Structure 1
């Protein structure tokens, strides 16, 4: 078929997801007998997503799980799940993309993943998170549950974007005066609040720890700026 005769995809429609690399999620980043098996050395179609229009994919170098968003707003997750980071209400590993059923009533338009947590954004500005919450990286305002295996609401409104680091999360919001907020582990200053919240846990010796921040907090140093993009590494944040 000539280029001029090829059908054009409608604006905003998705495409087909191709996957390559490690598929043995039990072994990724772990030293196990027998080494890595089942690697996909070429881009490969995932059977469970064939025919599904995908508009966005999220993963990360510290993560052993993936998120794919469909053009219809459905959220698919797969991979390692010991901390509930897939959002299915359990800690069972999924080797194939599976719809997060508790998000089915929402249209999910953005997603980001950390080491063991996931945060998504809906088309009406809500944000939900699931997975590891030991450091408050889910932004729920609470550390009561170290693992949230089902989606829980984040304490950020009018969300326009999200980015996850290893154990922290940064949100963009259209609320005046709170355009960029962060929560989670502050150990390396990645939350941008001018402190790493370091303290000594013992009186008789030095044993340092870092006070987690479970409630999303606006970054005061950027309060006079209009932030339009944010990206996170394992332990750092960049904005413009």
Structure 2
């Protein structure tokens, strides 16, 4: 009946395998077989897509995307995107400030809506940062939209863009993949060339200095080494060469570069600790980093206050530490959020660890975990069979609007530093004074 609480509905028939995971600032999204999308965690800005502003402590089916044949999902900090190849449509929802949703305005959106400017494009990959997005087309072109105060859109200006625009600097260059950080961006071309642009205060563009770039610039310090993938943390960047070697650069106050110290690097620096491994996947968190090897071993390092590195402690690590899984399961996919991490294993199990204060770990509780814990409802080895909560949207009772005074807070440890602060890996300097971010510690 209308208004009644809907109980958990057990999925009947074949097990729905989790194909893709993505972690945001305080929320998580998963794509399951059968084109089913689930989301959980913080929902204050509509980033879960369930039509309200409520948190979800367990994976909840995003019914608004049912039947749209979604093939990819990507979390930004407080917004989310999804792509349907058959419909040639990108959908976005969540916090809308600075135009990061691409809908032509700055309004928050609580259910998935198509990005009209991208309609009909065949999209290869979408990357979402804190306040901006990038999309690579099958032809190798790049579209960008959202916040642009430091040129992270690559359009040659510092004006925000409320709708996707093509990055003209890549005309004639086929881009393979892109990555988006807080205020910077990176890309790898099909020929292995690495690019950086946007905010460069910590050397996170890899260009040898601390200057911003308003258009993509080639990273020339790699001595001919070709790259195959790139990822951005909040203020650091990770790339992998064709030989499976890992390079990191940028901010390292919390050891997130993994070089055994806390020194910034202004150009890509090879991670010697993993030089004997072939890296198959990388992910950058707010201040931590994860790398997956081709033989299924997962390593993490960096900021670990909430256990987001996953190595059974809450101490920051400046060198790679192996993350252990039950039964020594091999990992096939990883995603870093701001303070939590997600992984899929070859046994078709999904694990999460780190900060859990908004339910972003999907365990039905608000506890932090500093070791991987299985998400029962998404895992083959779940104890009670696969149970996924359906969306329970009741517009008359749902929280459809949250006032700015409730939603805005200054990021902890991100206040302006005093004059005697040390540049580089010292204080968090050069954050735009009006760049107030909402956080939940």
d(CA) in 2 for partners of 1:24, 1:226: 39
Q: 1:103 aligns with which of 167, 170, 178?
A: 170
CA distances 1:46-65 after superposition (whole Å, capped 9, x unpaired):
121111111211013xx100
State the secondary structure of the residue aligned to 1:161. strand
Larger displacement relative to structure 2 (185-194 or 149-158): 149-158
Q: RMSD of the alignment, in Å?
A: 2.1
Matched, 1:83 2:150: yes
d(CA) in 2 for partners of 1:68, 1:52: 10
- Mapping for residues 165-176 of structure 1, pairs under 5 Å: 165-175=233-243
Q: 1:134 aligns with which of 191, 201, 222?
A: 201
Unaligned runs of 5+ in 1: 1-12, 29-35, 198-211
User: For residue 203 of structure 1, what is the aligned residue in structure 2?
Assistant: none
Larger displacement relative to structure 2 (38-47 or 102-111): 38-47
CA distances 1:162-221 after superposition (whole Å, capped 9, x unpaired):
11101100100024xx71001001100010100013xxxxxxxxxxxxxx3111110011
Runs of 4+ more than 3 Å apart: none
Q: 1:221 aligns with which of 269, 273, 276?
A: 273
User: For residue 59 of structure 1, what is the aligned residue in structure 2?
Assistant: 128
How many corresponding residue pairs? Answer: 201
Unaligned runs of 5+ in 2: 1-83, 293-441
1:39–1:136 CA distance, 2 compared to 1 (3 A): same
User: For residue 140 of structure 2, what is the aligned residue in structure 1?
Assistant: 73
> Structure 2-normalised TM-score?
0.44
- Mapping for residues 152-231 of structure 1, pairs under 5 Å: 152-154=217-219, 155-156=221-222, 157-175=225-243, 179-197=245-263, 212-231=264-283
d(CA) in 2 for partners of 1:160, 1:37: 34
Matched, 1:25 2:94: no
Q: 1:235 aligns with which of 283, 287, 309?
A: 287
State the secondary structure of the residue aligned to 1:228. strand
Counterpart contact for 2:106–2:162, Cα < 8 Å: no
d(CA) in 2 for partners of 1:171, 1:26: 28
State the secondary structure of the residue aligned to 2:169. helix
Q: Which is greater in Rg?
A: 2
Q: What displacement does 1:234 show? A: 0.7
Q: What displacement does 1:43 show? A: 1.3
d(CA) in 2 for partners of 1:165, 1:86: 16
d(CA) in 2 for partners of 1:37, 1:77: 15
> Structure 1-normalised TM-score?
0.79
Q: What displacement does 1:41 show? A: 1.7
Counterpart contact for 1:23–1:95, Cα < 8 Å: no
Q: What displacement does 1:142 show? A: 2.3
Q: What displacement does 1:23 show? A: 2.2
1:168–1:43 CA distance, 2 compared to 1 (3 A): same
State the secondary structure of the residue aligned to 2:273. helix
d(CA) in 2 for partners of 1:27, 1:124: 29
Counterpart contact for 2:131–2:146, Cα < 8 Å: yes
Q: What displacement does 1:27 show? A: 10
Q: What displacement does 1:37 show? A: 6.2
